[in-house]
Structure 1
Amino acid sequence: MGRVTSRTPSIRVEITAGGEPRTTSRPDTLAVEEPLEIRVSGVSVTVTMRTPGDDFDLTVGNLLTEGVLRHATDVQQLMHCLDEDESGSPTYNVVDVTLAPGVVPDLDRAARSGYQSSACGVCGKTSIDAITATSPYAVATDPVALDPAVVAGLPDALREHQKVFDRTGGLHAAGIFTASGEALVVREDVGRHNAVDKAVGWAGREGLLPLSGHVLVVSGRASFELVQKAVMAGLPALVAVSAPSSLAADLATRSGLTLVGFARPPRMTVYAGAHRLGW
């Protein structure tokens, strides 16, 4: 399996009181970033830049949250292909998915997956309509009630599980929590969307989808793409350390998701679904 961190030469620069730079050469620990190609029955579906580890969870989560597959049970087998680098060493950077008998993937959706990025330039209404029409779960009907004090503290609870971030300072995190604040799973990755896919994929492989009554917590901002992934996993709430985008708030409102940003105790800002917090 690929490494999660790597030691890389660096020069530490400190500006002295007199304005002169003082330099120290030293190796630094960085998060590894490598491509992962996902294939379905031998057909390449997507390539994502990720931190190696939990690749099977990432694969299942990506296929579910992008709408290529409907259920985790659509996957019969996952395996790393024996791809090699220039030196002939295995990279473990390709995962091939064998589908259960009778399952037909939506490969057209895979080909259009770029529209789910907040930077793609596609009409917002078109994107929102596409997600609300294809999600297999109706999060708007989820009756879970959330304690504001618990919700505000979720980013701190997430931070306690960010072990690789402590070593590198370069990874995002995503966690699935119960309404009472208990962490079911936390995953880290150089890409925030990959961290979410790893967490959702784990839940799918554990037979926990839809994630009714649970909360997705992310270490950065809440983009349209992350709201989409929460809705596709049946999560009724998304809590972010930073701000949401306008399209993320629109999608949350349309889909009935509770969206919270700037969650840093004792404050937070609610952008959608305030009824679950008592308002």
Structure 2
Amino acid sequence: MYGIKSFEIKKIGAKSVEKIPDLVAWEEPLEIRLGFGEMENRQQKSISVTMRTPTGHDFELALGFLFTEGIIAKLDDILSIRYCVDAGRQAQENIVRVELKPSIEVDLSKVERNFYATSSCGVCGKASIESIQQHCKILSSDDFKVPASYIQSLLNILKEKQVFFKHTGGLHAALIINPQPTHQTALKGSKEKIADYASSPLGAGGRCREDIGRHNALDKVIGAAFQANLLPLKNNILVMSSRASFEIIQKAAAAQIPIVACVGAPSSLAIETAQDFGVTLIGFLRNDGFNVYAHEERIISSCE
């Protein structure tokens, strides 16, 4: 299976020792390059090198990254996206080049952070915080409300969709889902809204992407929504198998996702960023409950 590698290991138990094959998560670097400018004077910029799991979603990862970093805004900005070609002989599947249309102006100050990112870390630092304040809208507290019981049910949906995790135990998952109309108070009494929901690609089971890096998994699923022209994701929920870090909230805010639910704990900066940008932040998601750290008004509890 693509995205997984097999290694022979020695398994030591309490009463036995044996050699067996073991499946592990595949990790390789991906370089994202940007082509821009007039056709007669094209420029190329290496934007990022990130360690990712090659699961067939590299283009989504590249597009999601460029969007959440504020470099591109809509699908129409893209002229082409492809793997780089080695002197016309073969595609280099660890290098993705995104070509922008000549009319698109690129703010090079946004791409000056030409960084190497491990699979466990994403964007960080003062420059990153200041950049999201420039291109992320503050989410309003509208009529998008979700029962606590529905939030709890999302953990099982996430687990069902973690195909690569089931084999390796080593990948994070990001799920974007549009709540069922029976759980969505904003849809009550509106046949038109229920019909719109039924045709939504993010309804019912939602979309899920996996990667060894949590921020890569999120870039992939946002990139999938970007390719399908589904942004902004104002009536959707993001579920992460990881902890809640600053870059998770930053990317969710860029896609205008109002509710983020994470299996792990939030960092202080994640909480502060969620408070500032109007994102409902949930941590320690379990089948029997969870903690709400920011903007609790979107969660309906039957206990109150």
- Tell me whether 199-208 or 138-147 shows the greater mean CA deviation: 138-147
Task: Tell me, in whole angstroms, the C-alpha distance in 2 between the residues paired with 1:118 and 1:192.
Answer: 8
Match 1:43 to one of 32, 45, 60: 45
Distance in 2, Cα, partners of 1:90 & 1:74: 23
Unpaired stretches in structure 1, ≥5 consecutive residues = 17-21
Q: Deviations over 1:227-271 (max 9, x none)?
A: 000001111110001111010000000000000011101111000
Aligned residues: 266
The residue type equivalent to 1:225 in the other structure is E
1:154 aligns with 2:144: no
In 1, Cα distance between equivalents of 2:280 and 2:86: 42
Distance, in Å, in 2 between the alignment partners of 1:164 and 1:179 is 24
31 and 202 in structure 1: CA distance in 2 versus 1, 3 angstrom threshold: same
User: 2:22: which partner in 1?
Assistant: 28
TM-score by length of 1: 0.87
Aligned to 1:206: 228
Alignment of 1:18-167 (within 5 A): 22-41=16-35, 42-52=44-54, 53-83=56-86, 91-112=92-113, 120=124, 122-123=125-126, 127-135=128-136, 137-167=137-167
The answer to whether the 8 A contact 1:172-1:220 is kept is yes
Distance in 1, Cα, partners of 2:2 & 2:205 = 25
* Residue aligned with 2:270, SS: helix
Identity value in percent: 39
CA–CA distance in structure 1, aligned partners of residues 173 and 122 of structure 2: 19
Contact preservation (8 Å) 2:47, 2:113:
no
TM superposition shift of 1:107: 3.1
Q: Assess, with a 3 A threshold, how the Cα gap between structure 1 residues 35 and 83 changes in structure 2: closer, same or farther.
A: farther
For the 8 Å contact 1:155–1:218, the answer to whether it is kept is: no
2:272 to 245, 250, 256: 250
Alpha-carbon distance in 1 for matches of 2:99, 2:90: 25
Give the TM-score taking structure 2 as reference length: 0.81
CA distance, structure 2, for counterparts of residue 47 and residue 142 of structure 1: 38
Provide the aligned C-alpha RMSD in A: 2.4
Find the aligned partners of 1:90 and 1:65 in 2 and give their Cα distance: 26
SS at match of 1:275: helix
Q: Is the 8 A contact 2:71 2:106 kept in 1?
A: yes
